[in-house]
Structure 1
Amino acid sequence: MNSVPVVRKARLNSAFKRLMSIHWLMAACYLVLFVTGSGMARLTRGTPFRSELYDFHKSMGALVVALLTWRILVLLQVWWRKYTKHLPKFTPEWQRKFFLHTLLYLFMFAVPVSGFFFSNSYRSNNVRLFGLTLPDLFPQNSDLVDLGRSIHFWIAYIFLVFIILHTLQQWKVVRANWRRFQCFVMNWKQSKSI
């Protein structure tokens, strides 16, 4: 009977917990990226705060690359702990999940890199991480701006399709988290009314 809290405590302090924390942090960052990206694409030149919105969007793109690097290191740690004890069962369900997660990780990398390509093609030294100018990954080439815009657009929206597939695959987790969030909000409202 006492072993259950110990197991739960060990799970809460594990690399898996760090991985899930990074997961939700990156999910929030990508939500911000999708909202700002789709919003700023509709803005015309001369719109107030347009360039600041672009700078913020680019900073968030650079941030998710850094978070992705951290996430991959933690994921390798989780895999090491899990798969050195026993290998996975290569069932069709495991293979589907592995394939989907592999594609998600590829898109997590490809979306910001395609954004860097688009941005660097337009102008050199214009990607910043909240004020810190980052080195160009691609040379400036005005002939590639339209190609960069198109690649970034399509990769981002294909990534969104895979996020939706991932959400549907994890629907039980989504519902459980939604219930936890609702309870948190109810408890918070009750504590405010006292």
Structure 2
Amino acid sequence: MNFRYGPWARTFHWTIAILAFFMLALGAYMTKGIAPDDPIRGQLYSLHKATGALILFLVLIRLLVRFNNDPPMLDDQPALIRIGSRLNHYALYLMLIAQPLVGILFSQAANRPVSFYGLFNLPTLIDQQPKPVVENLAAAHQIGAGILVLLIALHIAGGLYHWLIKRDGVMGRMAWW
């Protein structure tokens, strides 16, 4: 029985995790930590949008890899832990897809194209929208960030539970080492 995820799954996991932490920190800084008239603000928003698109792309590839490779089994875990873990993973995948999509829609609805690191603009998914639609998309993106923080915290808490309390080797399934 294979207990450990393969190198591709581990690479995608940690790359997406690092990018997600970066995005959450950058998003918080852009909205709360920098003056609206700061000249670097536009560059930070461009970086945020491009990295969000990158996360979306990587998550979709990760799901393709995941669907073509069975995850290592955890038969010895209680049903409640297996179900909770599975639900958290599904919710994380959902939010890691929805959050960038809502961000792209928000930007495009505000008539701001999304550039992928200056290389090309993403295809337009939505034309410019009235202010209430833009505001609702902005609110949805902000709420999504909060949900994502909660799901990541639960994911980390589960890993720490297995590592520090159960000491059952589950942390080694996705470890780089």
The answer to whether residue 108 in structure 2 is matched with residue 117 in structure 1 is no
- 2:142 is aligned to 153
Deviation, 1:45, is 3.1
Deviation, 1:99, is 1.0
Letter in 1 for 2:95: F
- For structure 2, which runs of at least 5 residues remain unmatched after alignment? 165-170
The answer to whether residue 93 in structure 2 is matched with residue 105 in structure 1 is yes
Identity %: 24
Deviation, 1:128, is 1.0
Residue by residue over 1:84-139, the C-alpha shift from the partner in whole angstroms, topping out at 9 and shown as x without a partner, is xxx99993322211111111100111111111121111115x10111111111222
Q: Quick one: distance in 2 between partners of 1:11 and 1:95? A: 18
Superposed counterparts of 1:169-188, under 5 Å: 169-171=158-160
Count of residues in correspondence between the two structures: 165
Q: Quick one: distance in 2 between partners of 1:68 and 1:142? A: 31
- 2:125 is aligned to 137
| Structure number with higher relative contact order (C-alpha < 8 Å, ≥ 6 residues apart) | 2
Q: TM-score, normalised by structure 2?
A: 0.81
Larger radius of gyration: 1
Distance 1:82-1:111 versus aligned 2 partners, 3 A rule: same
- For structure 1, which runs of at least 5 residues remain unmatched after alignment? 1-6, 185-194
Q: TM-score, normalised by structure 1?
A: 0.74
Match of 1:33 among 23, 37, 48: 23
**RMSD between superposed Cα atoms in Å:** 3.0
Query: 1 or 2, which has the higher helix percentage?
Result: 1
